[in-house]
Amino acid sequence: MPAPVAVFAFNRPHHLHQTLTTLAQNEGAETTTVTIYCDGPRHEQDHSNIEAVRAIAHGGNGFAQVQVVEREANCGLARSIIMGVTEQLRQHEQVIVVEDDLVTSPFFLRYMNQALEVYAECDRVISIHGYIYPIDTPLPETFFLRGADCWGWATWRRGWALFNPDGQALLTELERQQLLLAFDLEGAYPFSQMLRDQIAGRNNSWAIRWHASAFLADRLTLYPGRSLVHNIGHDDSGTHSQRTGTYDVVVSPTPIRVEAIAPVPCAAARAAVKQYLGLGQCCPSPVTRVLSQVKKLFYSAPF
């Protein structure tokens, strides 16, 4: 039975339309149940877009069933996702999570469902991810990295049970175990600063806490060698996003082959990601732009 899909939306009707359209074009969409969580307005001026989003959500088709959850008040992205994923995993053993600015390959659901089945009993695997950076280096068909991620992902009830929303507790434990250097990819990317910013209230990222929770538990996420997800939200339309093409990809026009591989981190893939994030592709001037790039990647739709 296909995993249910949870879609999270706020005030971007055009983006949600593209998300639902490409999702409905997926192999297996017709047997997939989709729940669309529509957040409530923050300001009076949000109402027209909120209503447009809800109309698109209710008009979603191409799936086995569509359920729309309309929040009366504004939850914010972090609370919306934490609540929604928790609700889904009370009812189901697994869930696929998509936000309203992600467009998917026609083979996204196939990959997610196959991987969820293959690794269902492998406790070290905490989640499945659909996006991978536009890295020039050839990557394995699938591979593992330590931690978790947030642009088109899936997990099981057992995986989400490890999520700790307490950022301070996570940071304290990373420090106690002397893991900050590894967590930051040996200085290539300031994940720990994001966590400190979350603790200080400078961001409300659920995803940095999800990543830290998985990292501390020494859990792994499966990635595809070719991206099955493209984020269209870096167009100044999101609350925290800025215009950038840094993470643009062409989604794979062919399926990802999912076969059981050893649950160990892929050193070559980690090195490629580390180089991409730290040596110019993502941050042309690392000293002056790295935090800006972090916000672009992690403070927008998924983080």
Identify the pLDDT of residue 279: 64
Strands (E), 88-219: 94-99, 102-104, 125-129, 142-146, 153-156
Identify the pLDDT of residue 214: 99
Give me the tens of pLDDT residue by residue for the chain, a chain 303 residues long: 899 999 999 999 999 999 999 999 999 999 999 999 999 999 999 999 999 999 999 999 999 999 999 999 999 999 999 999 999 999 999 999 999 999 999 999 999 999 999 999 999 999 999 999 999 999 999 999 999 999 999 999 999 999 999 999 999 999 999 999 999 999 999 999 999 999 999 999 999 999 999 999 999 999 999 999 999 996 544 444 444 467 899 999 999 999 999 999 999 999 999 999 986 444 433 332 334 444 444 444 334
Task: Report pTM.
Answer: 0.91
Question: Does 110 fall in a domain?
Answer: yes
Question: Does 149 fall in a domain?
Answer: yes
Q: How many domains does the chain have?
A: 1
Listed residue (260, 251, 247) closest to 303, CA to CA: 247
Question: Does 230 fall in a domain?
Answer: yes
Structural domain that includes position 121: 5-298
Give me the CATH number covering residue 241: 3.90.550.10
Question: Does 303 fall in a domain?
Answer: no
The DSSP element (H or E) to which 38 belongs, if any, is strand 33-38
Identify the pLDDT of residue 50: 98
Question: Does 158 fall in a domain?
Answer: yes
- CA 107, 116, 128: angle at the middle one, nearest 5? 75
